[in-house]
Structure 1
């Protein structure tokens, strides 16, 4: 009788193993998709611009096994053809590459900002779509829930009387991206109970590209600068009378935030929330830096 039970367990175990689908071999062009695939335990076989991902996205870290494809707008087609891929993922931003990429493997376009709804909800939807593609649906649901919970927890570290925030990213010493309510960054701020001081028009990514003088009319706000900052810009704005006299810079310390990929990906949401919480902690302890001016 024991051997029958053992045989049954062997057969059922074998069937279960056979039923478990293998993880497809994926090449991802978009960084938001790359970070999401890594976060749900299915890193791509290959991606574009690994070093720049580290500068602009920050995390999660890319495994050493992931192959470098070159530029996002012009990936290495010869290498792609050698990787025995099941699918290549893009966003609508890279739709012009579809015809070339389809010669190598099927192409799936999974977007974040190109349809109606909040950036947060669209990012959650794209997480689920990517998870379905790589058979990681359960992992994705756990990740979505843990992201929500972490942002809520980090919100507890934000002062109750905090000022509205102007979140910017330097293009050069005279121009910035400023993030609105409809950006992923703006959505995270809302979930953390932080008012967004930028209430003017934004593009479909949720930011506006403006000269810094456009920020001069915004009173009662604190400035937050998202890395990376172009080489030479800190030195230039240190000497910029215009920057130093912006109300959001002149009247209080500027928050310095780590690099965050604002174009989608739930890992970006938690990275931004952590960066904000840490910045407010430094502010409360008197350890806020003065790289971007403002009161120490």
Structure 2
């Protein structure tokens, strides 16, 4: 029997798979002549370009993108341009991009990258802005650079429609019985817990789900806490978003702190595949789908209250 924190919904949504196929391979793809060559160090921009039907010529840390973001998948021909904070400028110059896109986190790179190609910054997380509104604005801004304005409207409309359908399905099944604590592991003793200002929280609100975390959050919508901080949430269901750092699962098997978390004691833990926590519209759609399916699966097949096999 797999450890309880590895339980994932056994069914993939064919609807989302079909939706992504439509978005990525639909009839509205611009010709190659109309598609600028874009490179980016930012994964949110990369996933948005791919969802808009544009393959970036270069993306930073492609292996890590595949681990942390997952989808839309990076085609093999996308060149790894090095570290996000220190891209390989010589390689970037060889790729001859028409434009380089950055997020504010990497905006200090702009002066040097401007020598290679016109460089622009697209923001998703900005102080004082509403994340969902900014998500739409960022999607449209990226689409304008890529000549995909019409595709951006299709993507945003599909996002809103699909989340509304998922909410209706959850409401009909009455699965929103407990508030959720959504976390990602940093190591075997610390997690990021997501609350106000996070992408996960914004999606949960639209699904009609209650976020148990009421504590403060940072610029990106999370707080870093020890496992002990989770022990006070007696009636919350724990949701873990992968990937798990190497060795953490094994350490949790014998962790006293972990065993004292109420959701762990009651075996009420759900695990989701990787979804980029700082992502845009594609990540929002994936998180909504994976979370909804996990909740439905848990309701359909309640977890055993017996201790899991080691």
TM-score (norm: length of structure 2): 0.84
Cα deviations by residue, 1:195-215 (Å, 9 ceiling, x for unpaired): 000001000100001111111
Give yes or no for contact 1:119–1:264 (8 Å, CA) kept in 2: no
CA contact 2:267–2:304 (8 Å) conserved in 1: no
Ranges in structure 1 where 5+ consecutive residues have no aligned partner: 1-18
**2:131 aligns to what?**
119
Structure 2 unaligned residues grouped into runs of 5+: 1-30
| 8 A contact 2:267–2:303 mirrored in 1 | no
Superposed displacement of residue 157, structure 1: 3.8
Contact 1:112 1:122 in 2 (8 A): yes
What SS does structure 2 have at the residue aligned with 1:185? helix
Deviation of 1:234 after TM superposition, in Å, equals 0.9
Residues 1:94 and 2:106 are matched in the alignment: yes
CA contact (8 A) 1:118 1:187 kept: no
**Structure 1: how far apart are the matches of 2:225 and 2:111?**
35
Query: Which of residues 143, 165, 190 in structure 2 aligns to 1:175?
Result: 190
Q: Which of residues 80, 85, 89 is equivalent to 1:68?
A: 80
Name the structure 2 match of 1:12: none
Q: What are the superposed Cα offsets for residues 31-78 of structure 1, whole Å, 9 maximum, x if unpaired?
A: 000000000111211111111111100100112221111111111111
The Cα shift of 1:190 comes to: 0.5
Q: Which residue, 290, 304, 310 being the options, matches 1:275?
A: 290
Residue in 1 that maps onto 2:272: 257
The one-character-per-residue Cα deviations of 1:215-268 (angstroms, maximum 9, x if unpaired) are 111221100000000111111112112211212322342000111111121110
Report SS of the residue matched to 1:216: helix
Q: Which runs of structure 2 are paired with 1:80-229 in the superposition (5 Å)?
A: 80-158=92-170, 159-160=173-174, 161-229=176-244
Worse overlay, 244-253 or 161-170: 244-253
Where do residues 18-29 of structure 1 align in structure 2 (5 Å cutoff)?
A: 22-29=34-41
Question: Does structure 2 conserve the Cα–Cα contact (< 8 Å) formed by 1:157 and 1:280?
Answer: no
Give the secondary structure class of the aligned counterpart of 2:286. Answer: helix
CA distance 1:244–1:45, change in 2 (3 Å):
same
1:126, CA displacement in angstroms? 0.4
For 1:115-144, what per-residue CA distance to the aligned partner results, in whole angstroms no more than 9, with x for missing partners? 422222211110000001111000000000
Which has more radius of gyration? Answer: 1
In structure 2, what is the equivalent of residue 238 of structure 1?
253
Cα deviation for residue 286 of structure 1 reads 2.2
Could you say if the C-alpha distance between residues 63 and 101 of structure 1 is closer, same or farther in structure 2, counting changes exceeding 3 Å? same
**What is the RMSD computed on CA atoms of the aligned residues?**
2.1
Q: Aligned partners of 2:83, 2:302: CA distance in 1, in Å?
A: 39
Q: How many residues align?
A: 275
Give secondary structure in 2 for the equivalent of 1:82: helix
Greater relative contact order (Cα < 8 A, sep 6+) = 2
Match of 1:5 in 2: none
Per mean C-alpha deviation after superposition, the further-off stretch among 158-167 and 51-60 is: 158-167
Change (3 A) 1:36 1:198: same
Give the SS at the match of 2:186: strand
